[in-house]
Amino acid sequence: MNMEAGAKSSATSLLDLFPGANGVNGYPMITDHTEAIEKRLRHFSQATLYLCMEELTQNDSAYASERQLMQQALAKRRKEFFSGRHLARQALKRAGFPVQAIARGPLGNPIWPAQAIGSITHDQRYGAVIVGHERDVAGIGIDLIEDPNQVDSEIASLFMHPDEKTILGSRFPDAPVTAVVFSIKESVVKAISVHIGRFMDLLEIHLTVSNHCISARIDGLPFHIPCIVIATEFGLLTASILRSEN
Ligand SMILES: CC(C)(COP(=O)(O)OP(=O)(O)OC[C@H]1O[C@@H](n2cnc3c(N)ncnc32)[C@H](O)[C@@H]1OP(=O)(O)O)[C@@H](O)C(=O)NCCC(=O)NCCS
């Protein structure tokens, strides 16, 4: 996620935000290896998901269609876009899908190969991509916030309901609740916007916690979307899944 509009200058590390060994959902808080994060996401989703996560390094693409999409873009945007596509191909390859150009849909969504589902996120330094098979999950969204203090609490009313502050603030006492809620909702948008076929307002999304599990509901829609928040050395990573039975 990029929060330039509401960015603050503070740079508290996640290790400061999540001191001690207390875990979320029974897991240790700090998970530094992509492999371990992938394992947690597989456990959470009950699906064989493939996660690729690394520093943003790519300034170009071998695919003309991707270069075309970035023709007018500034260097920073080109880097995050091309690095995201590069990571996506790594994840697709690991998952056994064709390695190909990844077009962009009308909602800004990546167009995955047939039967693949996935999600891309990038922040200032790192990017992450998750890919799976549509027979296992109908949709997935991920979001990375490298510095949770970037999310300005002054704009919280644009995306957070008052009860969410209470529910999630007590659940993650060491993280700014605004960052947790914002990131979860961004991941929800990525998991479902293609299914509903339109842009979404984050206030349409309502987060609840039941039996220690976070889930999202959308105004007027039947979806029930499980969500997870993982503190990693890359930053705060959230994921949401749309199960096939939704
Ligand atoms: C779409 C949205 C979730 C993107 O999140 P972000 O924090 O800006 O950026 P991230 O780096 O985490 O993720 C960006 C990636 O999300 C993916 N993405 C963008 N729109 C998407 C959508 N509708 N569905 C699924 N994935 C989407 C793209 O792959 C994008 O990277 P790329 O353009 O390089 O391919 C966010 O802008 C959003 O829509 N928020 C909802 C409120 C809002 O502003 N709505 C109006 C615009 S959608």
Task: CATH number of the domain at 171, please.
Answer: 3.90.470.20
Q: Which residues pair with 225 in a beta bridge?
A: 216
pLDDT value for 246: 67
Structural domain contains residue 4: no
pLDDT value for 154: 85
CA of 108 to the centre of ligand 1 (A): 6
pLDDT value for 186: 98
2 CA closest ligand 1 atom index: 7
pLDDT value for 6: 35
Give the SS3 label for residue 217. strand
Structural domain contains residue 5: no
Helix H or strand E encompassing 170: helix 162-171
Print the domain residue range for 27: 11-242
Cβ-contact 188, 221 below 8 angstroms:
no
Structural domain contains residue 113: yes
80 CA closest ligand 1 atom index: 34
Cβ-contact 44, 82 below 8 angstroms:
no
Structural domain contains residue 57: yes
Which amino acid belongs to residue 161?
H
Instruction: Report the relative pairing of strands 30-31 and 224-232 from DSSP bridges.
Output: parallel
CA distance 239 to 187: 6
pLDDT value for 9: 33
Cβ-contact 146, 234 below 8 angstroms:
yes
186 CA closest ligand 1 atom index: 3
Cβ-contact 108, 121 below 8 angstroms:
no
Given a cut of 50, the residues of the chain with pLDDT beneath it are 3-31
pLDDT value for 187: 98
Question: Number of folded domains in the chain?
Answer: 1
Structural domain contains residue 133: yes
What are the counts of helices (DSSP H) followed by strands (DSSP E) for the chain? 6, 9
Nearest CA to ligand 1 atom 2: 186
CA distance 127 to 114: 23
pLDDT value for 233: 84
